[in-house]
Structure 1
């Protein structure tokens, strides 16, 4: 390999494909078309005289050479990026940047309304893309730049990530008003006897199961939906009940809330970001704005 003739732009292609194990997802992250990404990967393979990645089902698996190259190349690119972000300037009032946020239901309910109101005056050209990903994709998305921040009750982002506590939320049981079997205080026996709807969106139901397992109790789960809002919608139209973070249903008409008849930890809602973005002026501004809006 002749480094004098090597296209250094291909190094970012290599690092992003390695992280995501997908050519199509890497193309989307970098902003290339699928044909352009495939061509870049072909040139990279020719320059390295190695396939670098081989397809296994839907996944691109790295070769031995790719594994040996990844750590030093990722470090080199991070150092280069840090050099530029440290001297960079961000002017929110004239910026047209788009920030990509991974938000839980609670994050959407509490953070988004305040953030969009603040942006309308402080940074009218700035846009927000809020999305959901499977938890397994959070770390790769933040590392690669596919996402800028993750906000929620997240307990699985550790090495290489920073975090800031924003607020706590307590879990509540919800039922429709005038539920025929709920009069007065909610007891554990009544909670267990009723039919439940649960959500796959967050960690609430895992925590509930853990809390009940100590007394070898289980809920009567009849329906599973994707988000807490869908839980609330189903509860309002049936005799089902649900356990949700309180802020996800705050102000919703047609619901009654009940204190849970067992102990549950509070949800600690934090914002997380990868170290690659820690010194970026735009990221710093956004993180500080969110913290000011929530913590004040």
Structure 2
């Protein structure tokens, strides 16, 4: 017998016929028709160059070769079944898996506290790695498995990706509470006359620039930082102002918020994942947990 040409599907046929000692019972157990089962047994005999089973009354008795094959083949089949069971099963209570999330400031503020509280009871040994990458690297990180999910206001992940809307966020202007030149409503003149802190981590400032450019107006950008949190801390201790998603600064002291003096679309915060992970049971569990925590 040449193992390179051996049909591994016949392993199960052999093991079930050996256990049940009946071709018809084995066909029912596997879900094959009687002719299909007989054909499979014929092919198995041809590949092994041995009858394997001989009829004795109503039962099929194994030959000496069949007796010698049964133990190793049953163990091999069991090993294959166990391997696939482990690959598809996920038990959050006992899992030690680490999920890697690409998250914006807003995602961290809104999602992480709720997620970590839920994991403490539902999956105590599961851990989360929240990180940042340049937006240009998101697709390759999700595609390769370097990251499991991306959560944020992301508009560039399309072909090959799934998404689920989690919540909307409103853009606001922030300034320190005792800013000497800002009293009353934030007008466009006041907004443009102040020094601004901008953040490169999210898409907010790119949208602001696009909106102002359409009006042939520009801000006076004094400082560029990486994250909204950092810009908010600087704003609270200076006379600079910034434009941020509202949830990015929830609970931060020393800040006053203003409605923007021009129209901006709301930030649509979604979770994104690559199709390679769409049917993974552990991945699906995490996505459903996050959605339940945010959407209720």
Give the TM-score normalised by the residue count of structure 2.
0.71
Aligned to 1:209: 209
Aligned to 2:103: 103
The alpha-carbon deviation at position 85 of structure 1 amounts to 8.7
Distance 1:163 1:84, change over 3 A: farther
Distance (whole Å) between structure 2 residues aligned to residue 136 and residue 179 of structure 1: 37
Aligned to 2:232: 232
Q: Radius of gyration: which is bigger?
A: 2
Distance 1:98 1:259, change over 3 A: same
The alpha-carbon deviation at position 249 of structure 1 amounts to 0.2
Distance (whole Å) between structure 2 residues aligned to residue 191 and residue 108 of structure 1: 28
Root mean square deviation, CA, Å: 1.5
The alpha-carbon deviation at position 206 of structure 1 amounts to 0.6
Aligned to 1:182: 182
Stretches of structure 2 lacking an aligned partner (at least 5 in a row):
5-82
Distance (whole Å) between structure 2 residues aligned to residue 156 and residue 150 of structure 1: 12
Map 1:1-296 → 2, pairs under 5 A: 88-296=88-296
The alpha-carbon deviation at position 213 of structure 1 amounts to 1.3
Distance (whole Å) between structure 2 residues aligned to residue 149 and residue 87 of structure 1: 20
Distance (whole Å) between structure 2 residues aligned to residue 118 and residue 265 of structure 1: 31
Corresponding residue SS for 1:112: helix
**Deviation string, structure 1 residues 244-265 (Cα, Å, up to 9, x no partner):** 0000001111000000000000
Distance 1:100 1:85, change over 3 A: farther
Corresponding residue SS for 2:146: coil
Corresponding residue SS for 2:284: helix
Corresponding residue SS for 1:125: coil
**Deviation string, structure 1 residues 130-169 (Cα, Å, up to 9, x no partner):** 1101111111110110000000000010000000000000
The alpha-carbon deviation at position 115 of structure 1 amounts to 0.2
Corresponding residue SS for 1:129: strand
Distance (whole Å) between structure 2 residues aligned to residue 190 and residue 181 of structure 1: 8
Aligned to 2:68: none
In the alignment of these two chains, the number of paired residues is 215
The alpha-carbon deviation at position 84 of structure 1 amounts to 5.1
Stretches of structure 1 lacking an aligned partner (at least 5 in a row):
5-82
Distance (whole Å) between structure 2 residues aligned to residue 206 and residue 240 of structure 1: 18
For the 8 Å contact 1:165–1:270, the answer to whether it is kept is: yes
Distance (whole Å) between structure 2 residues aligned to residue 84 and residue 246 of structure 1: 45
Corresponding residue SS for 2:244: strand
Distance (whole Å) between structure 2 residues aligned to residue 215 and residue 97 of structure 1: 50
The alpha-carbon deviation at position 87 of structure 1 amounts to 6.9
The alpha-carbon deviation at position 295 of structure 1 amounts to 0.4
